[in-house]
Amino acid sequence: MLFSARNLVLGLWLAHVSSCAYNATVCGSAPYTSPNGDLNFNANAWNADSQGFSCLSVQTSPPAFDSTWAWSSNPNQVHSYPHVKFKLPDLPVLLSNISALSLSAQWSMGPGSTPLPALSVDISGLADADTTANVAFDMFADPNPANAQNETLAATEIMIWLGYVGTPVPLGFSSKRTCFNQMLGTLEFILYQGKNSRGTDVFTWMATTNETSFSAEISPLLQYLWRNGLVPSNSSLGLVEFGSEAYHSESNVTFSATSFDAELVTGAAPNLTIASLPTACSDAGSARRQGSWLLSRVSILGILGYVLYLI
Ligand SMILES: *[C@@H]1O[C@H](CO)[C@@H](O)[C@H](O)[C@H]1NC(C)=O
Ligand SMILES: *[C@@H]1O[C@H](CO)[C@@H](O)[C@H](O)[C@H]1NC(C)=O
Ligand SMILES: *[C@@H]1O[C@H](CO)[C@@H](O)[C@H](O)[C@H]1NC(C)=O
Ligand SMILES: *[C@@H]1O[C@H](CO)[C@@H](O)[C@H](O)[C@H]1NC(C)=O
Ligand SMILES: *[C@@H]1O[C@H](CO)[C@@H](O)[C@H](O)[C@H]1NC(C)=O
Ligand SMILES: *[C@@H]1O[C@H](CO)[C@@H](O)[C@H](O)[C@H]1NC(C)=O
Ligand SMILES: *[C@@H]1O[C@H](CO)[C@@H](O)[C@H](O)[C@H]1NC(C)=O
């Protein structure tokens, strides 16, 4: 069974790779919207300079895209975020009115201008090109529903990193593990928190493994934030996107995405068992703002858990 499912996935991918019959290619910041209007693609070179480019080629059915880019300047800055935006009719939606949000995607990344086979990452080829990039879902939220649908106006950005190459760091990162974490099934996500230059509160959930084939109901990651008071509980979710933040590469890199989807079920958020904020942190960076509040939530279990973690 597994074997044939794998062959099917491989077959679909090879069809995708070999046909190379794209319906559209966009570069820079010009968007392309799929014929039925539910997907919006953007090469999103929002921080472009003269030493690079970002292009994105779309196949509309089944939806897939390949993005070829290179940025040889500053490796510490994101230059582009080639991505697909899911035009879900129920957005914006109150965070507390998200019954479920299922996200899925498959991806590959390698050097050069053509896509790699399914679910593969050419680590040594990307290292040769000195590539720094992540692969991530990106979401925006704000108490004002209209602002939640605008990347630059939204008060809160919530990222889920499925993987990375090179050493990109999320805002609020320190070389130490932070103390906020949440499981989705068997996958562990570590939370980082920082502010970007616009003052947006950015929360990054980083998978502890590279997930080239991801499918999960991610509302626990959202509930963790608003039930613990990190994000205002009256915020609405306005945008859901999937792509790759491109920081740096000396030569062309191609990121490919397929089997991506977002399914939102509205209705009162279920009372999930959400871990409370930890009582102590190896990295003060992400907990500092909540410090005094954290201490009021000290529990024997929390301390025990932390001691066990230290061991
Ligand atoms: C997309 O491209 C495929 C393959 O060339 C073609 O069959 C299909 O009609 C195109 N779809 C649209 C909406 O242009
Ligand atoms: C959201 O809640 C905050 C308090 O946490 C309040 O100041 C703000 O007015 C509320 N915004 C809306 C749109 O309800
Ligand atoms: C987002 O807000 C900015 C600042 O008000 C505005 O310039 C931009 O056009 C808005 N974007 C969209 C997609 O509405
Ligand atoms: C993902 O793979 C890259 C390249 O091998 C590696 O540097 C990175 O540490 C991996 N990330 C995780 C979270 O394991
Ligand atoms: C890099 O990609 C661009 C855009 O696809 C292409 O025009 C260029 O020829 C590629 N460069 C190399 C060295 O393959
Ligand atoms: C929550 O979702 C339900 C089901 O879609 C909808 O009927 C209701 O109006 C929503 N409530 C709020 C406060 O948005
Ligand atoms: C969650 O728990 C609260 C407080 O106990 C309750 O008011 C609410 O109806 C519950 N919600 C759901 C979806 O079960």
Task: Check pLDDT > 50 for residue 222.
Answer: yes
Distance from the CA of 36 to the center of ligand 7, in angstroms? 37
Decide whether any atom of ligand 3 lies within 6 Å of the 12 Cβ. Answer: no
pLDDT at 286 over 60: no
C-alpha to C-alpha distance for 54 and 46, rounded to whole angstroms: 10
pLDDT (average), residues 150-170? 96
11-15: long-range pairs with CB below 8 Å, 24+: 12/62, 12/258, 13/117, 13/118, 13/258, 14/117
The domain spans of the chain are 81-310
Q: Can you give the pLDDT at residue 115?
A: 95
Measuring from atom 11 of ligand 5, which residue has the nearest CA? 252
97-112 pLDDT per residue, tens? 999 999 999 999 999 9
Does the pLDDT value for residue 159 go beyond 70?
yes
For range 32-57, the mean pLDDT: 96
Cα 96 to middle of ligand 6, angstroms: 10
pLDDT band at 304 (very low <50, low <70, confident <90, very high): very low
pLDDT of residue 177: 57
Ligand 2: residue whose CA is nearest its atom 8: 143
296, two tokens: 């009021």
* Ligand 6 atom 11 nearest Cα: 97
Q: Tell me, what's the pLDDT at 118?
A: 72
Cα-to-centroid distance, 225 and ligand 3 (Å) = 26
Give percent above pLDDT 70 in the chain. 82
Instruction: Label residue 20 by pLDDT band (50, 70, 90).
Output: low
pTM recorded for the entire structure = 0.86
Atom 2 of ligand 1: nearest residue by CA position: 23
Asked if 241 contacts 151 with a C-beta cutoff of 8 angstroms, the reply is: no
> Of the bound ligands, which one is closest to the alpha carbon of residue 112?
5
Task: Output the average pLDDT for the chain.
Answer: 85
* pLDDT score recorded for residue 182: 92
Comparing 298 with 154, which gets the higher pLDDT? 154
| Topology at the third CATH level for domain 81-310 | Jelly Rolls (2.60.120)
Q: Considering only residues 278 and 202, tell me which one the structure prediction assigns the higher pLDDT.
A: 202
Q: What is the pLDDT of residues 83-93, one digit of tens each?
A: 999 999 999 99
Q: Is 26 left (phi over 0), alpha (psi -120 to 50) or beta?
A: beta
In sequence order, the 6+-apart residues with CB closer than 8 A to the CB of 248 are: 71, 72, 73, 74, 75, 79, 130, 131, 132, 133, 166
Name the band, by pLDDT with cuts 50, 70 and 90, for residue 5.
very low
Would the pLDDT of 261 be above 70? yes
Q: Residue 307 above 80 pLDDT?
A: no
Q: What is the pLDDT of residues 165-221, one digit of tens each?
A: 999 999 888 755 567 889 999 999 999 999 998 999 999 999 999 999 999 999 999
pLDDT, residue 172, reads 83
Q: What is the pLDDT of residue 291?
A: 26
pLDDT for residue 38: 96
**Residue whose CB lies within 8 A of the most ligand 1 atoms, among 16, 32, 38, 60, for a mutation test:** 60
What pLDDT is recorded for position 297?
28
Determine the residue of 68, 131, 253, 254 to mutate for testing ligand 5's pocket, defined as the one with the most ligand atoms within 8 A of the Cβ atom.
68
232 pLDDT above the threshold of 70: yes
What string of DSSP letters covers the chain?
-HHHHHHHHHHHHHHHHHH---SEEEETT-EEE-TTSSEEEE---TT--TTEEEEEEEEETTEEEEEEEEE-S-TTS--B--EEEE--TT-SEEGGGEEEEEEEEEEEEEESSSPPSTT-B-HHHHHHTT-EEEEEEEEEEESSTTGGG-TTT-SEEEEEEEEEES----TT--SS--S-EEEETTEEEEEEEEE-TT--EEEEEEESS--SEEEEE-HHHHHHHHHTTSS-TT-EEEEEEEE--EEEEEEEEEEEEEEEEEEEEESSPP----PPPPS--S-HHHHGGGHHHHHTT--HHHHHHHHHHH-
